[in-house]
Structure 1
């Protein structure tokens, strides 16, 4: 028994170590044995992480307290110790405590919750780029809209569809590396945005309800037919990041990934200028620049 316990502990430690090493190599991706949220790669996701830990500071003590009270009641008031049940009808002090305490807990949770909700829909400055994401069964369409101060920019003409990358298309697209382009998450055309830029995301749908979700960026916004929903995010790190449709939308809902490629502002400007007339060539040029600079960083769903 002792040897089995030691072996199980060692196996768990090795597994956790491997998962931690994998997480360092590929930040932001889901990993085996992962229990935490994905790496925060935007200001909003950092706030979400903080609020998650803050909430756990209340949940864990409350759970322990309730479990302890249940155990004590089971032990103290079992039939063998209390053959004649108590006829106590109420206790004023206990009733005051279990009314006031939850109100205080909810108050401490509500204030930062409303602050986070407000931050999610109020960017810190005027967005520099607007991207419209339209959900289809079962892929995404992107349309770039320039800022008002840059109306003549080629972004006005950039629009494309992003389909799930099939295994047959990997060799031809140069996306054989499954660590960088994971199965069921990789796409043929990623949405390209510049790092350190406030981006307005407009979401809608052409058929049924979808949901545009990028966990590492703190993005989750519904795509509803005939309706426009708005959100914002600011990537803090260059790399390729993945998300998925998070609203059940039909047979191929499981295979409706979102690919986001975050690049430097200079790389984005060059890509944007070329993508309007030759998207495939612009993507190939961007990929070559990234490989040459060695700046590829992987992140995930």
Structure 2
């Protein structure tokens, strides 16, 4: 009799566990963390979109131009110091104009700016020309969390808070356990959120950005995107991620006392996993994480 009771309890427990809501972690599986700031890092995060690759290339191109200018001006200054000091040139020349030189230092900077503009404007236009999105996500910034809505998918909307926000933004054993449950480590504290934006890899994603109270800014460095969310206005950005993984960002517009605790998490997954996540979200089967 006791054995039967134990078996009955076991079946009941199994049924209860089966009925519990799934987590995004259990559906999406383990994903590599690609877009994350590194301690002491001074470079860009790995580029995961064509937009980010263009920005990285433009940065390197401008760095070459700036380096050449700095070296030239530094050399010119040193040459003047040693060639025309009082000891080497006791009697200074007396003249007020040098027309060829004045034309040169006017025309050459103009040409440099034209070259820079010729390469930088296409990058800017590529960011600002919003294509038709395969997936559209509306994001609203609030003090101090993000609200997400998939307008083309009925019932798919959620809020996203930093893991640890309910613990006073401090690391505690409970927060560490929450990070572990969500598939993160303590290194992702103040980067990871309890819910994440989920998008399919290789698809055009259009983000509609606005603010619900003050100005916020939605940005993912690895995607090369950043857009202010202004209350009463709807702005847009787009990206097409080429690698599955987890990408972190932060609110990049000072928005109040808890501005530093307003991270962003985007998970890029396969189309199959994305479809599975959508079904679970619409059915209300996904809890936080």
Question: Please, what TM-score do these two structures have when normalized by structure 1?
Answer: 0.77
Asked which structure has the greater CA Rg, the reply is: 2
For 1:67, which of 37, 62, 74 is the aligned residue?
74
Which of the numbers 274, 282, 285 marks the counterpart of 1:276? 282
1:95-244 equivalent positions in 2, closer than 5 A: 95-123=102-130, 126-146=132-152, 155-166=153-164, 167=171, 168-172=174-178, 174-175=181-182, 177-178=184-185, 182-244=188-250
Alpha-carbon distance in structure 1 between the residues aligned to 2:146 and 2:129: 25
In structure 1, the gaps of 5 or more residues are 1-24, 147-154, 285-301
Alignment length (residue pairs)? 249
What residue number does 2:8 align with? none
Corresponding position: 1:264 with 2:274: no
After the TM superposition, which parts of structure 1 deviate over 6 Å for at least 4 consecutive aligned residues?
Answer: none
CA RMSD for the aligned pairs? 2.0
Superposed displacement of residue 279, structure 1: 5.7
> Can you give the 5+ residue segments of structure 2 that lack an aligned partner in the other structure?
1-31, 165-170
Distance 1:115 1:249, change over 3 A: same
Contact 1:159 / 1:276 at 8 angstroms: preserved in 2? no
Rounded Cα–Cα distance in structure 2 between residues aligned with 1:187 and 1:265:
22
Cα offsets for 1:132-188 (capped at 9, x unmatched): 110111111101122xxxxxxxx2221111001114334246036427x61211110
CA contact (8 A) 1:129 1:145 kept: no
Look up the match of 1:30. 37
Q: Are the counterparts in 2 of residues 170 and 176 from structure 1 also a CA contact under 8 Å?
A: no
Higher relative contact order structure (alpha carbons within 8 Å, sequence separation ≥ 6): 2
Q: TM-score, normalised by structure 2?
A: 0.80
1:12-50 deviations in Å (ceiling 9; x for gaps)? xxxxxxxxxxxxx95432224433211100111111111
Tell me: CA distance 1:183–1:78, structure 2 relative to 1, closer, same or farther (3 Å).
farther
Partners of 1:234 and 1:130 in 2: how far apart?
Answer: 12
